[in-house]
Homo-oligomer: A and B are copies of this chain.
């Protein structure tokens, strides 16, 4: 298996881009990533997108963006795994380059949810739940996250305030990121007064949907050496799955897929959680942050919330385990199928030392994890810089 390098990254700001289309957004990020990699042509384009069919009545988005970008003709298709689509697309690009079949690949995440029919906007993201056994009864991602959070508080005897630190940290980091959707710093006390979305999930527990696109360029070791000085290496790549319906899980508070995919990725990289310098996790809800930290080896079961309590010394940019270093889903925003590629691009900037105001000092090893639904798909990648 060949080593796979990331040699370019590109991101557009996350937000409501009423003036841009799916193909235009994707092209913007693709061109930024190509420029960063010093390439003008590539062999394949794998696109992570979750809701183009429902938001924009559009499939074959890869061919659409390839044509719009002037790269028409190349190998391209779309990868979907709910909000883990970006991560799964990165996995596909990794496999393509690792196999030797393809030399240069762009992996692009793109999502466009504004300028769509209102009915589609309300329901689109819920199609990542179990349509026959959850959505049909009126369940949504947020109401199910609320059930998870309520259960967690009951089992471990904690109240809402223990989740505050995750949100404070995300917004503190996002406030420095020009690509972030909500750059406001949360004032002390604001978390406890936030309007409820679905009790106990408040506005500051849940990440905003947004339009956005992000791309990374992958190639082999040989080619990377010709193109850039400091490639970032994919040392671990793994996908695992769990049931879609929460009710089908033996233990609702255990993110089985997050655990399995992190474990496999650590194993491939020859590392453990203790080696990770920063972790871009899937903080679509603060309860997912707590459960993810427990599933991936950073906290014991029932104790993920404790990391939130330790403030900047634990989770901040200079802390023991920096997370959501550019704002995470909570502040940077959650452009669904693009989110996993934002995570990858942000982690690369950290490892290259190009993260500016968001830089984690001496970052050498990053873990990124992208979830679909409430952990039904989990994609974990370990990124490392050369010594």
Contact = CB atoms under 8 A, between A and B. Distances in A.
Nearest to A63: B241
Nearest to A48: B77
A274 interface: no
Interface stretch (A28-36, A50-58, A159-167, A186-194): A50-58
A324 to B, nearest CB: 24
B243 A67 contact: yes
Nearest to A125: B59
Contact of A244 (B60, B130, B239): B60
Contacts of A82: 59-60
A361 interface: no
A1 B99 contact: yes
B76 A377 contact: yes
A109 interface: no
Contacts of A98: 99-101
A87 to B, nearest CB: 9
Contacts of A50: 59
Given A242-B72, A243-B72, A127 B63 contact: no
Interface in A147-196: none
A10 to B, nearest CB: 21
B78 A79 contact: yes
Interface residues of A, number: 67
A21 interface: yes
A60 B373 contact: yes
Contact of A260 (B73, B241, B256): B73
Interface in A78-133: 78-82, 84-85, 88, 91-92, 94-96, 98-102, 123, 126-128, 130-132
A81 B77 CA distance: 5
Contacts of A372: 59-60, 63
A316 to B, nearest CB: 33
Contacts of A58: 127, 130-131
A292 interface: no
A135 B56 CA distance: 11
A112 to B, nearest CB: 11
A50 B44 CA distance: 20
Nearest to A241: B63
B81 A80 contact: no
A350 interface: no
B95 A81 contact: no
Contacts of A67: 241-244, 248
A257 interface: yes
A237 interface: yes
A132 B60 contact: no
Given A60-B81, A75-B238, A243-B67, A53 B127 contact: yes
A240 interface: yes
A341 interface: no
Contacts of A256: 73
Return the 3 tightest CB-CB contacts between A and B, nearest first.
A99-B99, A77-B88, A77-B81
12 contacts: A23-B132, A50-B59, A53-B80, A59-B82, A59-B372, A62-B377, A63-B81, A63-B241, A73-B256, A74-B240, A77-B239, A79-B80
Given A63-B244, A67-B241, A80-B80, 19 more contacts: A56-B131, A57-B123, A57-B126, A57-B127, A59-B82, A60-B372, A62-B81, A62-B241, A63-B81, A63-B243, A64-B130, A72-B243, A73-B241, A74-B241, A77-B85, A77-B91, A79-B80, A92-B95, A98-B99
